[in-house]
Amino acid sequence: MPQALLTTDLSPLPLIARGKVRDIYALGPEPDSDLLFIATDRISAFDHVLATGIPDKGRILTQISAFWFDFLKDTVPNHLLPHNGPVTDQRLQPFQAQIEGRSMVVRRAEMFPVECVVRAYISGSGWKDYQQTGSICGIPLPPGLRESDRLPEPIFTPAAKISTGGHDENISYQAVERTVGVEIARKLRDLTLAIFTKASAHAASKGLILADTKFEFGLLPDEHGTPRITLCDEVLTPDSSRFWPADQYAPGGPQPSFDKQYVRDYLESIHWNKQAPAPSLPPEVAAQTRAKYLEAFTLLTGRTQL
Q: Are 211 and 225 found together in one domain?
A: yes
Asked if residue 145 and residue 53 are part of one domain, the reply reads no
Strand 135-136 versus strand 227-232 pairing type: unpaired
pLDDT of 167 strictly over 70: no
Please report, rounded to a whole number, the percentage of residues in the chain having pLDDT higher than 90. Answer: 84
CA-wise closest residue to 69 among 61, 60, 80, 58:
80
Does residue 231 share a domain with residue 284? no
CATH number at 158 reads 3.30.470.20
- Residue 155, classed as helix, strand or coil, is strand
Task: Please check whether residues 228 and 187 belong to one and the same domain.
Answer: yes
Q: Domain for residue 233, yes or no?
A: yes
Same domain, 168 and 201: yes
Write out the residue range of the structural domain in which residue 60 sits: 15-108+274-301
What does the mean pLDDT of the chain come to?
A: 93
133 assigned to some structural domain: yes
Q: Which H or E run includes 39?
A: strand 35-39
Task: Tell me the CA distances in angstroms from 1 to 4, 54, 234, 288, one per residue in order.
Answer: 9, 10, 25, 11
Least confident among 37-46, 122-131, 158-167: 158-167
For residue 114, the SS3 value is: strand
How many domains, the chain? 2
- Whether 88 is in a domain gets the answer yes
- Give yes or no: residues 75 and 30 share one domain: yes
Residues in contact with 78: Cβ distance below 8 Å, sequence separation at least 6, in sequence order:
69, 72, 230, 231, 232, 235
The pLDDT score that the predictor gives to residue 145 is: 98
Residue 256 covered by a domain? no
| Continuous H helices in 100-213 | 124-133, 173-180, 182-205
Taking only the tens place, the pLDDT of each residue in 13-29 is: 999 999 999 999 999 88
Residue 155 shares a structural domain with residue 203: yes
Confidence check: pLDDT of 85 > 80: no
Same domain, 139 and 203: yes
Q: How far apart (Å, rounded) are the C-alpha atoms in residues 106 and 218?
A: 12
Of 204, 233, 248, the last residue of a domain is 248
> pLDDT-based confidence at 154, cuts 50/70/90?
very high
Q: Could you tell me if 101 and 128 lie in one domain?
A: no
Instruction: Give dist(CA 141, CA 102) in Å, integer.
Output: 40
Residues 235 and 146 in one domain: yes
Q: What's the confidence (pLDDT) of residue 88?
A: 64
pLDDT of residue 51: 93
Residues 138 and 188 in one domain: yes
CA-to-CA distance for 101 and 91, rounded, in angstroms?
A: 17
Q: Are both 23 and 141 inside the same structural domain?
A: no
Q: Is 49 helix (H, G, I), strand (E, B) or coil?
A: strand
Residue 25 lies in a domain: yes
Whether residue 96 lies inside any domain: the answer is: yes
Average pLDDT on 53-73 reads 97
Supply the CATH number for residue 33's domain.
3.30.200.20
Coil, strand, or helix at residue 225? coil
267 part of a folded domain: no
Q: Which residue from 206, 195, 218 is spatially nearest to 118, judged by alpha carbons? A: 195
